[in-house]
């Protein structure tokens, strides 16, 4: 039983923080455009979280260039490998584009771009109603593309992890059974925050179960 290849700790933390934020962002975004009473409050939260996601994703891109991805399980063939690389690139592209489109869209209305209560960001697009409309439609389109891509991404990882039992999820997971399995080497996971642990405990447990089932798949 070998320790699975994982992304570096900082990459895994950034990944799960982004996952929580982006899921919240999509949900808040869909709710707010249908809401009357909570629209204003949700819009403030949405714009603030959007800028936060943008900063985190820029950090992630910079961070991602500092290391290679851990080896994929043997279950991933040549063609699927291409899909994995392509989907990762697409995800980064979408996560960068969506907040930028949102920011530009507000800019094009000529409105101030206000986040964190009272921080005013510069406008990044000229005041232009036609441009606003294109950006506004794009923002909705990208939201639905993100929903689809995230659904495919999670489904693929779940299928690999639970059906092929190849430990796919553990590349992004945290070692939570260290006391049970103290012989595991390469413990880079000594400082992960409790909240992140909790968020992924179930899936990681499932992954661990798969991994501990036997040596067969490796």
Partner 1 sequence: MLLGIGAVGAFLAIDLGAVAYANKWIGPEGTLTRETFMAGFRKVFGLHPGFRRNHAKGVVVSGYFDSNGSGRDLSKAAVFSRGRTPVIGRFSLSGGNPMMADAPATARGLGLAFTFPDATQWRMALLNLPVFVDNSPQGFYDRLLASKNDPATGKPDPAAMSAFEKAHPESAAAMAVIKQHPPTTGFADSTYSSLITFFFVDDAGRRTPVRWAFVPMQTALPPHPGTTNSLFDALVRQLKSGSLQWRLLLTVGRPEDPVTDATLPWPTDRRTVDAGVLTLTGVATEAPGNARDVNFDPLVLPNGIEPSDDPLLSARSAVYAASYRARTGEPKSPSAVQVDEVAP
Which of 90, 69, 72 shows the shortest CA–CA distance to 81? Answer: 72
Which DSSP string corresponds to 44-93?
Answer: HHHHHHHHHHHHHHHHHHHHHTTSPPPPPPTT--HHHHHHHHHHHHHHHH
In angstroms, rounded to a whole number, what is the distance separating the alpha carbons of residues 142 and 91? 11
Q: What token pair was written down for 41?
A: 């409050």
Measured over the CA atoms of residue 137, residue 142, residue 145 and residue 150, the dihedral's sign is negative
Q: What token pair was written down for 135?
A: 């950006």
In the complex, minimum distance from the CB of residue 42 to partner 1, in angstroms, rounded to a whole number: 9
Size of the site for partner 1 (CB under 8 A): 45
In angstroms, rounded to a whole number, what is the distance separating the alpha carbons of residues 127 and 140? 20
In the complex, minimum distance from the CB of residue 7 to partner 1, in angstroms, rounded to a whole number: 21
In the complex, minimum distance from the CB of residue 192 to partner 1, in angstroms, rounded to a whole number: 23
- By three-state DSSP, how is residue 7 classified? coil
- Contacts with partner 1, 7-26, as mask; x by CB under 8 A: -------------------x
Which of 173, 187, 204 shows the shortest CA–CA distance to 16? Answer: 173
Choice between 37 and 182, CB closer to partner 1: 37
- Our finding on whether 133 is near partner 1 (CB under 8 A) is yes
Look at phi and psi of residue 35 and say left if phi exceeds 0, alpha if psi is from -120 to 50, else beta: beta
- Our finding on whether 112 is near partner 1 (CB under 8 A) is yes
- Our finding on whether 213 is near partner 1 (CB under 8 A) is no
In the complex, minimum distance from the CB of residue 164 to partner 1, in angstroms, rounded to a whole number: 8
Choice between 64 and 217, CB closer to partner 1: 217
In the complex, minimum distance from the CB of residue 215 to partner 1, in angstroms, rounded to a whole number: 19
Segment 139-168, which members bind partner 1 (CB under 8 A)? 147, 150-151, 154-155, 158-159, 161-164
Contacts with partner 1 by CB under 8 A lie at 26-27, 29-31, 33-41, 43, 109-113, 118, 120-123, 127-130, 132-133, 136-137, 147, 150-151, 154-155, 158-159, 161-164, 206
């Amino acid at each position: 039983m070998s320790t699975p290849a994982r992304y570096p700790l900082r990459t895994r933390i950034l990944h799960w923080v982004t996952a929580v934020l982006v899921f919240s962002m999509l949900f808040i975004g869909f709710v707010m455009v249908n809401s009357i009473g909570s629209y204003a409050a949700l819009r403030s939260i949405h714009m603030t979280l959007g800028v936060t996601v943008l900063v985190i994703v820029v950090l992630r891109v910079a961070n991602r260039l500092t290391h290679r991805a851990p080896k994929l399980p043997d279950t991933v063939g040549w063609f699927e490998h291409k899909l994995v690389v392509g989907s990762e690139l697409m995800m980064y592209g979408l996560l960068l584009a969506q907040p930028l489109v949102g920011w530009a869209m507000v800019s094009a209305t000529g409105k101030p771009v206000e986040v964190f209560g009272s921080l005013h960001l510069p406008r990044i697009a000229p005041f232009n109603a036609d441009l606003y409309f294109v950006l506004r439609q794009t923002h909705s389109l990208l939201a639905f593309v993100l929903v689809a891509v995230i659904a495919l991404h999670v489904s693929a990882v779940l299928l690999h992890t639970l059906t092929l039992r190849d430990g796919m999820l553990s590349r992004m997971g945290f070692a939570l059974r260290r006391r049970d399995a103290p012989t595991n080497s390469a413990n880079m996971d000594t400082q992960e925050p409790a909240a992140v642990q909790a968020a992924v405990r179930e899936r990681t447990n499932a992954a661990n179960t798969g991994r501990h089932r036997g040596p067969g798949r490796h």
